[in-house]
Chains A and B, each alone.
Chain A
Amino acid sequence: SAVISQKPSRDICQRGTSLTIQCQVDSQVTMMFWYRQQPGQSLTLIATANQGSEATYESGFVIDKFPISRPNLTFSTLTVSNMSPEDSSIYLCSVGRGASTDTQYFGPGTRLTVL
């Protein structure tokens, strides 16, 4: 298993600003994932972050809006850029070893409200 922490746990931001969310894992992991959970909805994968390479974005998500860093095997950041109220969501990071059968372990999430 893995213990994952996220900072901040919640934030209220103004329209047009940016917020960087940090994800820290207590052990080295191959793959880190970033999800968005909009109010009352399920989780949607934003991107997969591998150390030493560019993040892979899912359809509908672009690097300019959600830049991701993965400087080492225990840390990643997601930035939500030029925010609008539609970006109000819970953002979760998770980690996995890379195989289809592997369990993903999730952080507690960052609750973002954009005014």
Chain B
Amino acid sequence: AQSVTQLGSHVSVSEGALVLLRCNYSSSVPPYLFWYVQYPNQGLQLLLKYTSAATLVKGINGFEAEFKKSETSFHLTKPSAHMSDAAEYFCAVSEPGGGNKLTFGTGTQLKVEL
């Protein structure tokens, strides 16, 4: 069975600082990995995904993530935080050949301070 761990339920950064949100997976085979963002009172929106092509994936709004098989990680980064980045971020996995079913992590609430 797959699982996803997001370390840090709340992360606070200053505007302009580096954003680092952590995601580790547990799976018998390397999964496909997704980062979604949820703004208040809205549904989830895809930021980026890893589907076994390039290990460094660039997404929308300046975010990127690197798949590291040796560390079973897929951490999300952004060089410079903006106030508009304040939201909840979810890491999710799907199993190759397992259809479109996603298993989500517990989420990380990102706060951006002036």
State how many angstroms separate the Cβ of A17 from the closest Cβ of chain B: 24
From B15-23, B69-77, B100-108, the one touching the partner chain is B100-108
A side interface size, CB within 8 A:
25
Q: If the complex has contacts A43-B90, A43-B104, are A98 and B42 also in contact, measured as CB distance less than 8 A?
A: no
Q: Is the interface of B mostly helix, strand, loop or mixed?
A: loop
Contact A42 B101 (CB under 8 A): no
CB-nearest residue of chain A to B100: A96
Contact A104 B100 (CB under 8 A): yes
Pick the most buried of A94, A97, A99: most chain B CB atoms within 10 A of its CB: A99
Q: If the complex has contacts A41-B106, A42-B105, A43-B90, are A102 and B41 also in contact, measured as CB distance less than 8 A?
A: no
CB-nearest residue of chain B to A43: B104
Contact A92 B44 (CB under 8 A): yes
CB-nearest residue of chain B to A6: B43
Contact A4 B101 (CB under 8 A): no
Query: Does B94 count as interface, using CB distance less than 8 angstroms?
Result: yes
State how many angstroms separate the Cβ of B24 from the closest Cβ of chain A: 15
Q: If the complex has contacts A96-B100, A109-B43, are A101 and B51 also in contact, measured as CB distance less than 8 A?
A: yes
Contacts A/B (CB < 8 Å), 26 sampled: A31-B99, A33-B101, A41-B106, A41-B107, A42-B105, A43-B44, A43-B102, A43-B104, A44-B104, A48-B99, A92-B44, A96-B100, A99-B99, A99-B100, A100-B95, A100-B96, A100-B98, A101-B49, A101-B94, A102-B100, A103-B46, A103-B49, A104-B100, A106-B36, A106-B44, A108-B42
* Further 14 A-B residue pairs, CB within 8 A, beyond A45-B103, A105-B46, A106-B45: A4-B43, A31-B99, A33-B100, A33-B101, A42-B106, A98-B99, A99-B99, A100-B32, A100-B98, A101-B49, A101-B51, A103-B34, A108-B42, A108-B43
Enumerate chain B interface residues (CB-CB to A < 8 A): 32, 34, 36, 41-46, 49, 51, 90, 94-107
